[in-house]
Chain A
Amino acid sequence: MTREQRIVETFVELADTMVDDFDVIEFLHRLAERCVELLDCTEAGLLLADAAGMLRVMASSSERSDALDLLQTQNDEGPCFECFHRGGPVYSANLLEELGRWPTFAPAAVERGFCSVQALPMRVRGTTVGALNLFRSEPGAMWDRDLPVAQGMADIAAVALLQERSVRESRGVVSQLQGALSSRVVIEQAKGVLAERASISLDGAFARLRGYARSNNRRLSDVAGELIDGRLEPAALADPVGSDR
């Protein structure tokens, strides 16, 4: 399959997923995974601003705790912080040269093996609501041919956030996004519950929650909520890969 065919196929797949009652968190997670497959990057993450203007992690291609950690260091510095406040793309071709510009983010990114980074705005009706963050293990700027595709992915993410049924019914962009942010909090809380109940890692807990939601065609945030209120027993969430301890 050519690169163009893969791009078209990904956009069609993502558009097809935005059906009634779709799971926005699972959607964004999948979108981050597709970014890594399609684009010249090794990891992708999505940050969304809350009503107070703080950037919060919505999804990551790896969903590993250290990946989420790196994303959430960008509350007052970093490419996503700049991208969100400026409303335009931000990049660094060499993170080692940004230690003064991003004293917390740059060393943390380098420590995780990243050399360059790109942030693209997620825009809704002219307003920037968050950012798509792409990490590369090689130095240098992202290929020119990748940039429009990356911006397309950021735009699809923004559309998805406003399409989810639970958010369509309330009013105002900020209050609509609040619902998605709240779903992500429920998932983090459920990861803690499951990790403690099953004596597994938080990353393992996420894998089990996601595996159960996928194989039962359920929304991840609904599964998380049921685990918290006791309607779903931890034992029901089978170990999907066998190596999450």
Chain B
Amino acid sequence: MAVDRLGVVLAAMTSVDGDAPTVVDRLCVAAVALLSLSGAGISLMAEGQLQGSAGVSEPGIAAVQELQLELGEGPGVDAWTSDAPVLEPDLAQGGTIRWPTFAGAAQEAGVRAVFAFPLQVGSIRIGVLMLYRNHSGPLGSEELALGLVLADVATQVVLAVQAGAPADIVHDLLAGEPAHWAEVHQATGMVSVQLGVPMDEAFVRLRAHAFGDGRSLRVVAREVVSRRLTLEAG
């Protein structure tokens, strides 16, 4: 029987103590607990540039998150560019060659291993999930799978927050309906044309419409796909 990794991630988010300021921060804290990390952060990207941090596991990790923003290099930048996870189990080894400045500065801040996962849904790309460890060593295959699920949940959380869903219901929203139905992706494409907006904004508008109507994302997507619903600009 396969592991229900989405259930594992959502349960970890629920059991985070109340001091994480936002739902994005809470996800980062859950990541730390699940993968024995020293810290985790979510950086948002736009047009190939790091835009800043959307969430951190604890305030101390913010400085490390800022490093790639300042330096313009690092595993997060590479994960974004290559559209795939970038795994650096030992910054003192391979990391020094790949990102000389970043590797040095991150090690000074106590980071030894870094794992970066792009936040994306098909052509929607919004940022990177950064996982930090203060000891070297690779992620195991189960840890890697959990990292991918964490990145998927992080993507959905950030988009749901952008769609105006209150923090306390984002968790239930994700537990209640996986966002990977074909009609949701098809409807996103249609809405992007209807509103003349990029794909990420189209998804946010679709999510906001569903949330505003108190209906599921999939039901609203079905209406768009069957051309019973057209979203209007404004």
Contacts and interface: CB of A to CB of B under 8 A. Distances in A.
A31 B38 CA distance: 45
A188 B124 CA distance: 12
A196 to B, nearest CB: 4
Nearest to A53: B2
A185 B186 contact: no
B178 A54 contact: yes
B5 interface: yes
A225 B123 contact: yes
A51 interface: yes
A134 to B, nearest CB: 20
Interface residues of A, number: 43
Contact-residue bracket for chain B: 35 or more
A171 B1 contact: no
B85 A170 contact: yes
A69 B149 CA distance: 24
A229 B125 CA distance: 12
Given A75-B178, A175-B148, A182-B122, A49 B185 contact: no
A162 to B, nearest CB: 14
Contacts of B84: 166, 169-170, 175, 179
- DSSP majority for the B interface? helix
B145 A196 contact: no
Contacts, number: 117
Contacts of B178: 52, 54, 75
Interface in B184-201: 185-194, 199
Contacts of A72: 181-182
17 contacts: A50-B152, A51-B5, A51-B149, A52-B5, A52-B152, A53-B6, A84-B2, A174-B145, A182-B120, A185-B122, A188-B185, A189-B186, A190-B123, A192-B186, A192-B193, A193-B189, A196-B193
Given A171-B87, A182-B122, 16 more contacts: A51-B149, A52-B5, A52-B152, A72-B181, A173-B141, A174-B141, A185-B123, A188-B122, A188-B185, A189-B188, A189-B189, A189-B199, A190-B189, A191-B189, A192-B192, A196-B194
Interface of B: 1-6, 83-85, 87, 120-124, 141, 144-146, 148-149, 152, 178, 180-182, 185-194, 199, 225
- Give the top 9 A-B pairs by smallest Cβ distance, nearest first: A192-B189, A185-B122, A188-B185, A51-B148, A196-B193, A193-B189, A52-B6, A192-B186, A192-B190
